Amino acid sequence: MALVGRKAPSFKASAVINGGTIVQDFSLDQYIGKKHVVFFFYPKDFTFVCPTELHAFQEKLAEFESRGVAVVACSTDTEESHWGWLQMSKNSGGIQGITYPIVADTNKTISDAYGVLNGEYQYDEDMRLVASESMIAFRGLFLIDKSGIVQHMLINNFPLGRSVDEVIRMVDALQFFEKNGEVCPANWTKGSKGMKESHDGVAAYMSEMA
């Protein structure tokens, strides 16, 4: 079920913050009323495509922060796995230098709540747990406003990495709409014209953003 327009599922889980500190009961609720949130899932620690995305978000972290946006990552690995990967250098395939929080969805309930968990599971006649696929998260991404409402979501299959620049564009579009009440046409970028419905019901281009 699409989460756009709905309250982002709440959770509390272990996470690694500031590149190496493990905390308990991490929650996105701490940002409500304070910051927009980009919450993204990746499949697994110690893989190949995932570190390119994690580093790409870190490289643009200052741009997110300048917009009042918190970046938070999540996978179904444990907090200990996250911590270990954070100790490995980028040249060795690690994610050393990542400072934004990485949530440990060890019991997979967060991925399931956000609709990004791959595979299905059931119990066979001998009451053994059987999974149809690896129970890991797809590359899901959710842009959440200050009220905790999901305004944008994107889910990619495992081989398809995401564009961080496109995520920033979506942040800019949301904040432009929130500030000006004007909608953003196709391929809109920061500094471009917005649109709003005129009195006769015809959409008209408006002036440049102040």
Known catalytic residue: 50?
Answer: yes
CA distance 50 to 174: 26
- Whether the CB-CB separation of 52 and 42 falls below 8 Å is answered with no
Token pair, residue 195, equals: 């649109």
CA distance 48 to 51: 6
Q: With residue 39 as reference, give the H or E element that holds it.
A: strand 36-41
For residue 202, what are the CA distances in angstroms to 174, 195, 198, 199? Answer: 22, 10, 5, 7
Nearest to 16 by CA among 99, 140, 131, 124: 99
Given the residues 50, 70, 95, 137, the one annotated as active site = 50
Query: How far does Cα 50 stand from its chain's mean position?
Result: 13
Q: Tell me the residue ranges of DSSP E strands in 148-201.
A: 150-156, 195-197
- Strands 121-123 and 13-17 come out as unpaired
- Strands 69-75 and 102-104 come out as parallel
SS3 172: helix
Question: Catalytic amino acids?
Answer: 50
